[in-house]
Amino acid sequence: MEVSISKDPSGARRSSNAPRAWRLFAACVIALPLAACAVGDGGAKGASGAAVIKVHSTLKPNPEFAHYPQYTGTLGKRAIVMRLGKKTDPDDPGGIHGEYQFTDTGEVILIAGDRTGQTLEAEESDDGTRIVGNWVGTFAADGSISGDRMEVDDSNPQPFELKLVAAGAAAPSAASPAAKGAQAVNGVGNVVTGE
């Protein structure tokens, strides 16, 4: 059985067999503390009037994802680090999965879906069992990914822009004190400026 994404008559994306996709995640994170938590109310607005993504995840980074390609950038106005790689399941050749972490709070969110050509379609979970958001994006020739993250009903789109971190380069660490002299520059926190 495979997860498939289709559109209902209104044009909204819907996933079938979603519990199977998240069972795969559960196998990866079984030893991690999980909690069923709500993600945003979909209507919350920040001081600028822009929609705000509220996350309340208790997941911790999964060491199995540490070797996956890393991306840094923003989701809405928040900086994130994403680790995203191919699934090893031969029955799911386009399948990808991983996690992303907000650099300001350290909250971890799981992500799984498909890459078809240059198109990314994925779903996210803040507890390893429940789908709480959808991602639709495009991979560029340089490896970067951009698109929108939406609530499960495709509302509240938030743009994301992620750059592939060069092999061997350190991605900014999430929710850790900055090194002396380090400043965040365009979402990258490992840039050290003058003494």
Question: Helix, strand, or coil here: 65?
Answer: helix
What token pair was written down for 7? 């559109």
- Mean pLDDT lowest for which of 45-54, 56-65, 98-107? 45-54
Residue 54 has pLDDT above 50, yes or no: yes
**Residue 166 confidence (pLDDT):** 77
Q: What is the pLDDT of residues 82-132, one digit of tens each?
A: 999 999 888 888 899 999 999 999 999 999 999 999 999 999 999 999 999
In a domain, 29, yes or no: yes
In a domain, 138, yes or no: yes
**Residue 58 confidence (pLDDT):** 79
Question: Helix, strand, or coil here: 25?
Answer: helix
Give me the domain span that covers residue 150: 12-176
**Residue 154 confidence (pLDDT):** 94
Contact status, residue 40 vs residue 50, Cβ threshold 8 Å: no
In a domain, 18, yes or no: yes
In a domain, 1, yes or no: no
Distances (CA, A) of 110 to 44, 61, 131, 181: 22, 9, 9, 32
Q: What own/partner pairs with CB < 8 Å and gap ≥ 24 does 16-20 have?
A: 18/123, 18/131, 19/129
In a domain, 186, yes or no: no
What is the C-alpha separation between 41 and 2, in angstroms, rounded? 30
Distances (CA, A) of 170 to 95, 108, 127, 132: 26, 18, 27, 29
At position 80, the amino acid (one-letter code) is I
CATH number for the domain that contains residue 38? 2.40.128
Contact status, residue 148 vs residue 137, Cβ threshold 8 Å: yes
What is the C-alpha separation between 23 and 29, in angstroms, rounded? 10
Domain total of the chain: 1
What is the C-alpha separation between 177 and 154, in angstroms, rounded? 35
Count Cβ neighbours within 10 Å for each residue of 91-103 and write b for 16 or more, e otherwise.
ebeebbbbbbbbb
Residue 178 has pLDDT above 90, yes or no: no
In a domain, 105, yes or no: yes
**Entry pTM:** 0.62
Q: What is the pLDDT of residues 70-80, one digit of tens each?
A: 999 999 999 99
In a domain, 185, yes or no: no
In a domain, 72, yes or no: yes
**Residue 14 confidence (pLDDT):** 44
Residue 19's pLDDT band, with cuts at 50, 70 and 90, is: very low
Locate the DSSP E strands across 38-118.
Answer: 70-75, 78-86, 95-102, 108-116
